[in-house]
Amino acid sequence: MKLLEERIIKDGTVLPGGVLKVDCFLNHQLDIPLFCELAKEFYRLFADCNINKILTIEASGLGLASITAERFGCPVVFARKSRTKNLSPDVYSAKVFSFTHGEPYDALVSKKYLSPADNLLIIDDFLAMGEALTGLWSIAGQAGARVAGAGIAIEKAFQPGGDNLRKQGLRIESLARIASMDENGVTFC
């Protein structure tokens, strides 16, 4: 998607260690008018899939998931990263390794909010090693829910997560796919 690629080139910064910093529009400050355009594109891609629920994970995917759910007229369910007093003990869970924090966490979704009647679209802001997406796909599977696909804002296509999951049969639509990046800039697939 041209609009997103241009925005990454304009405002993204590549830090040493393979970190793409896009926190001025994607994951700390959220450019909601941009999100509306991304959501429109997700809707175009998945409009004929009878999506009845969006699945995402806290925190930064939640804004994009919510704006996308508005297009589909459906609710969002988000996986929590820690067990809180307010979450039912009756949960689906998946162990997810966070490369940002260097340690694993449990992604948790209450069993009340996913079922075999659901036809899900998974939304997230980033896809790199595919850890979070694998966890969400597993949680959907535990619930017997169907996953029509995953809509991702930015995929680091030079990391294996996306292609591994595609090989396993998951439809993934990434709006910007980065082929390579370094301090001199970003190139797209």
Q: Which of residues 97-116 bind its own copies (CB under 8 A)?
A: 100-101, 109-110, 112-113
Q: What are the residues whose beta carbons fall under 8 Å from the beta carbon of 151, sequence distance 6 or more?
A: 42, 45, 46, 68, 121, 122, 123, 173, 175
Kindly tell me which residue out of 4, 38, 67, 120 binds its own copies, with binding defined by CB under 8 A. Answer: 67
Q: Minimum distance between the CB of residue 186 and its own copies, rounded to whole angstroms?
A: 16
Q: Does 117 engage in binding with its own copies (CB under 8 A)?
A: no
Q: Does 23 engage in binding with its own copies (CB under 8 A)?
A: yes
For its own copies, the closer of residues 35 and 42 by Cβ is 35
Q: Does 147 engage in binding with its own copies (CB under 8 A)?
A: no
For its own copies, the closer of residues 34 and 164 by Cβ is 34
Count residues near its own copies (CB under 8 A): 44
Q: Which stretch binds its own copies (CB under 8 A): 2-10, 44-52, 82-90, 117-125?
A: 82-90
Q: What are the residues whose beta carbons fall under 8 Å from the beta carbon of 91, sequence distance 6 or more?
A: 83, 108, 109, 110, 111
Q: Does 70 engage in binding with its own copies (CB under 8 A)?
A: yes
Q: Does 76 engage in binding with its own copies (CB under 8 A)?
A: yes
Token digits of residue 16: 């040493």
- The answer to whether the beta carbons of residues 156 and 174 sit under 8 Å apart is no
For its own copies, the closer of residues 81 and 146 by Cβ is 81
Task: Measure the CA–CA gap between 127 and 139, rounded to whole angstroms.
Answer: 17
- The answer to whether the beta carbons of residues 77 and 53 sit under 8 Å apart is yes
Let me know if 2 is exposed, middle or buried by CB neighbors in 10 A (0-12, 13-18, 19+): exposed
Q: Does 77 engage in binding with its own copies (CB under 8 A)?
A: yes
- Whole-Å CA distances, 140 to 55, 95, 133, 187: 9, 14, 11, 33
3 state SS of 141: helix
Q: Does 24 engage in binding with its own copies (CB under 8 A)?
A: yes
Task: Measure the CA–CA gap between 102 and 117, rounded to whole angstroms.
Answer: 36
For its own copies, the binding residues (CB under 8 A) are 19, 21, 23-25, 27-33, 35-36, 58-60, 62-67, 69-70, 73-78, 80, 82, 84-88, 100-101, 109-110, 112-113
